[in-house]
A and B are shown apart, each in its own frame.
Chain A
Amino acid sequence: MANLLTVSGSPHLHGDQTIKKIMWGVVIALIPAMLVSFWYFGIGALLLTLVSVLTCVVVEFIIQKYLLKEPNSIGNGSAVITGILLALNVPSNLPVWMIVVGAIVSIAVAKMTFGGLGKNPFNPALVGRVFMLISFPVDMTSWPLPIVNRTVLVDAVTGPTSLGVVKEGLAKGDAMTDVMSRVPSYVDMLLGNMGGSFGEVSAIALILGGLFMLIRKIITWHIPVTFIGTVFAFTGLLYLIDPTQYVDPVFHLLAGGLMLGAIFMATDMVTSPMTKTGMVIFGIGCGLLTVLIRVWGAYPEGVSFAILIMNALVPLINKGFKPKKFGEVVKNG
């Protein structure tokens, strides 16, 4: 026996969840989406992912070591996730230095300024992405086409995203059938064979990762289901009202960054509400804002903005939707 017994308060047991397990679990869940993106977009995607992750990790390390002078938390994997998510959100032919800037903004401005993991009000990867979108609008919206660009780093064959095609076409007054003939088939969209940010293209790979996180209890169903459900319901309603003006809801589910956003970005524990009711409100809000921006906003895609706006409302949602207390509503029988 040890000379001295440890005396501490109960509980004396701890479950098997740790930050490390949760964060590396998310990284594992992102693997299918990364593999698909490497398949379609080749070295460009691989290079950007590596640079993004490396920048995030190095920036976090430097800030913790030289500015905050605290033990580093690189091992918990949260900077790696930010790096991967940021990379998955950009076109695969983006100049490398641009993603370095984005990664620095993500970690230095959006995360460490607030006190590091757990204290940031906004999703760091999204802040970085939006920063790049506003700073480098041309490079951030010229989307290389898949497969043909596998071995090309720059000067790729580019085209607009499906959402861009639709928005532009409808704005010009083209007929809906005409517009829709220019976007990829739904099967291609489901698999990821379309232009776009290189990680958001394959719905199947993203859903696979989401299921993994559900099973590992890293996320709950509340946010992804309500987010995606709201987009489907809202766009479905618009489609029923006027199918010549509004695209059908299935297109909205498969196009753009909805799957990536709903499964991996909106579910970020740090920046989402603390109660189940709060999560449902959050998911519905993200869905409504996404459709508003997609259909009537200036940008073809609205997922990033929608999530960031809802991030800002999280403290309010937490105040408004407290957990249901035991014995509060007396209903005995």
Chain B
Amino acid sequence: MKTFKLGGVHPEENKLSAGAAIKNLALPKTAVIPLSQSLGAPSVPIVNKGDKVLTGQLIAQGTSFISSNIHSSVSGTVAKVDDAIDASGYRKKCIIIDVEGDEWMDSIDKSPELKSEITLSKADIIARIKEAGIVGLGGATFPTHVKLMVPEGKKAEHLIINAVECEPYLTSDHRIMLEKGEEMLIGTKILMKALGVNKAYIGIENNKPDAIAHLTELSKKHEGINVCALKVKYPQGGEKQLIKAIVNREVPSGKLPIEVGCVVQNVGTAYAVYEAVQKNKPLFERVVTVTGKSVKNPGNLMARIGTPIIALLEEAGGVPDVTGKIINGGPMMGKAVNSLEIPVVKGMSGLVLMPENEAKRMRVENCIRCAKCVSACPMGLAPYLIAQTSEIGQEEMAEGLKVMDCIECGSCAFTCPSGRPLLENIRMAKNKVGQLIRSRAK
């Protein structure tokens, strides 16, 4: 069975919510919709205080090359455009809407019928995806339409659908495959048309045999789509690792996947593309896994963007007393949040609640040079050495050690028997090397 070769670790899977069907979450009383929900420049608001908005109505526009549109997730009145705490933990510009109901724009096709015929042209598909504000839903939130515009001189050969979901606990992609498999495959077809490729692979780890079987069966109807079962290994959901595992190509250092003829899109993104292109529905809701060992009802919730996470946590049975940490995303790469008021955003794949005893770090001890971090690094770096150069402020050395290749998967810190903060130090080095590179470009 296929997998990537270099490094990798095996965290406990703990997919507690794998069996829980996607449930629609009730609308919040107030929706707080952050203006920066994708990589690149924040969106520019086009509504003012007092404006009436409908569900699916454009409320903020992406104006620069890398940015995305944002739509209202509810119907109601704009209360204000003001700073509020967002998923980053900082106060940032948000559009705050008092919810009055759920009246959808007329242009959206609300019917449940499956629409499998793809009528739009390549250019129209990309325009529709851009208009619908679709971004990478795996967590990276890179605007999808930008990824579909293949640069001059490059050629896309393969579309790879990332259905790995290698983060422990998370199951939102898994549920979409089981419940929205047909729609997701049509979404894949649409993406193939947009890229002009005739081959697509869906990479799924073999800890999800039901999804593999289901999609293998469904994909028989769709020419060119192959389901590719992969051996479980973290971080297989990393773009570079996934491309290596499926088509055995290595994206060169500092380059994008298109360099080796590949474009990678997440399962959730493929489903959102189906809804946008076939049903004209913008991205204003997503599946969020709410889980944790002490959570009463771990589940997968279809939540509107802007819903405060406390509503999701209550739906899952409340926040247990022992909770010490709440993670936005998976436990390997997600961010710990500092408030229960932060809203659901496009990039929020899950909320993981950790008990206090697991939330604390172990005592940091001397590096015993066991080389486990070196063996674990999927990018073939020497994490212990980069972390050391960072500690003593030698950015040039860190740059020479290819610190910018680090994908921040956390395998090094996960495996370190001395509990050293390897990734923190590496992130610091990345930050400083980034500044160094930018200052040279000037």
A residues apposed to B, CB below 8 Å: 1-2, 5-15, 17-19, 21-22, 73, 76, 115-119, 269-276, 322-333
Query: What are the 8 A-B residue pairs with the smallest beta carbon separation, nearest first?
Result: A11-B410, A118-B366, A325-B380, A269-B370, A17-B417, A12-B331, A6-B359, A118-B368
Contact string against A for B residues 257-290, beta-carbon threshold 8 Å, 1 for contact and 0 otherwise = 0001000000000000000000000000000000
Of B104-112, B297-305, B418-426, the one touching chain A: B418-426
A187, chain B: closest CB distance, angstroms: 37
For B360, give the chain A residue with the smallest CB separation: A6
B121: Cβ under 8 A from any A Cβ: no
CB-based contact B381/A323 at 8 Å: yes
Q: How many A-B residue pairs lie within 8 Å, measured between CB atoms?
A: 171
Q: Which of A9, A273, A274 contacts B423 (CB 8 A)?
A: A9
Q: For A2, A12, A17, A269, which residue has the most chain B Cβ atoms within 10 angstroms? A: A12
B residues apposed to A, CB below 8 Å: 6, 9, 11-12, 89, 168, 240, 244, 248-253, 255, 260, 319-327, 331-339, 352, 354, 356, 358-362, 365-372, 374-375, 377-382, 384, 402, 405, 408-411, 413-419, 421, 423-424, 427
CB-based contact A9/B415 at 8 Å: no
Kindly list chain B residues whose C-beta atoms are within 8 Å of the C-beta of A326: 6, 240, 244, 250, 253, 378-380, 405
CA distance A5 to B341 in the complex (A): 13
Kindly list chain A residues whose C-beta atoms are within 8 Å of the C-beta of B410: 10-11, 13
For B363, give the chain A residue with the smallest CB separation: A71
For B327, give the chain A residue with the smallest CB separation: A12
The prevalent SS among residues of B at the interface is: loop
Kindly list chain B residues whose C-beta atoms are within 8 Å of the C-beta of A117: 365-366, 368
Once A10-B332, A11-B332, A327-B250 are accepted as A-B contacts, the answer to whether A270 and B368 lie under 8 Å apart by CB is yes
Kindly list chain B residues whose C-beta atoms are within 8 Å of the C-beta of A325: 253, 379-381, 402, 405
A selection of 18 A-B contacts at a CB cut-off of 8 Å is A8-B359, A11-B411, A11-B414, A14-B416, A14-B419, A17-B415, A18-B419, A73-B365, A115-B366, A118-B367, A276-B375, A324-B6, A324-B380, A326-B6, A326-B244, A326-B250, A326-B379, A329-B250
Kindly list chain B residues whose C-beta atoms are within 8 Å of the C-beta of A15: 9, 11, 414-415
Kindly list chain B residues whose C-beta atoms are within 8 Å of the C-beta of A116: 366
Kindly list chain A residues whose C-beta atoms are within 8 Å of the C-beta of B382: 274-275, 322-323
Q: For A118, A271, A272, which residue has the most chain B Cβ atoms within 10 angstroms? A: A118
Kindly list chain A residues whose C-beta atoms are within 8 Å of the C-beta of B413: 11, 14
CB-based contact A327/B251 at 8 Å: yes
CA distance A1 to B318 in the complex (A): 10
CA distance A239 to B12 in the complex (A): 52
CB-based contact A6/B366 at 8 Å: no
CA distance A301 to B6 in the complex (A): 39
CA distance A10 to B331 in the complex (A): 7
Kindly list chain A residues whose C-beta atoms are within 8 Å of the C-beta of B409: 11
Kindly list chain A residues whose C-beta atoms are within 8 Å of the C-beta of B365: 19, 73, 76, 117-118
Kindly list chain A residues whose C-beta atoms are within 8 Å of the C-beta of B366: 115-119
Using A6-B356, A12-B359, A17-B372 as known contacts, list a sample of 5 further A-B pairs with CB atoms less than 8 Å apart, ordered by residue number in A: A7-B89, A14-B413, A115-B366, A269-B370, A332-B249
A219, chain B: closest CB distance, angstroms: 10
CA distance A299 to B260 in the complex (A): 58
CB-based contact A10/B335 at 8 Å: yes
Q: For B366, B405, B416, which residue has the most chain A Cβ atoms within 10 angstroms? A: B366
CB-based contact A13/B334 at 8 Å: no
For B334, give the chain A residue with the smallest CB separation: A10
Kindly list chain A residues whose C-beta atoms are within 8 Å of the C-beta of B415: 15, 17
Kindly list chain B residues whose C-beta atoms are within 8 Å of the C-beta of A10: 331-335, 408, 410, 423
For B250, give the chain A residue with the smallest CB separation: A327
Once A8-B336, A323-B382 are accepted as A-B contacts, the answer to whether A269 and B368 lie under 8 Å apart by CB is yes
CB-based contact B248/A22 at 8 Å: no
Kindly list chain B residues whose C-beta atoms are within 8 Å of the C-beta of A269: 368-371
CB-based contact B354/A12 at 8 Å: yes
B80, chain A: closest CB distance, angstroms: 27
Kindly list chain A residues whose C-beta atoms are within 8 Å of the C-beta of B369: 118, 269-272, 274
Q: Which of B250, B338, B362 contacts A331 (CB 8 A)?
A: B250
CB-based contact B374/A275 at 8 Å: yes
Once A19-B417, A274-B369 are accepted as A-B contacts, the answer to whether A5 and B324 lie under 8 Å apart by CB is yes
CA distance A119 to B388 in the complex (A): 13
CA distance A316 to B375 in the complex (A): 19
CB-based contact B380/A323 at 8 Å: yes
CB-based contact A12/B336 at 8 Å: yes
Kindly list chain A residues whose C-beta atoms are within 8 Å of the C-beta of B327: 12
Kindly list chain B residues whose C-beta atoms are within 8 Å of the C-beta of A11: 331-333, 409-411, 413-414, 423
A8, chain B: closest CB distance, angstroms: 6
CB-based contact B368/A13 at 8 Å: no
For B326, give the chain A residue with the smallest CB separation: A5
For A119, give the chain B residue with the smallest CB separation: B366
CB-based contact B335/A1 at 8 Å: no
B87, chain A: closest CB distance, angstroms: 13
B319, chain A: closest CB distance, angstroms: 5
B390, chain A: closest CB distance, angstroms: 13
For A117, give the chain B residue with the smallest CB separation: B366
Once A12-B331, A15-B414, A270-B368 are accepted as A-B contacts, the answer to whether A5 and B336 lie under 8 Å apart by CB is yes
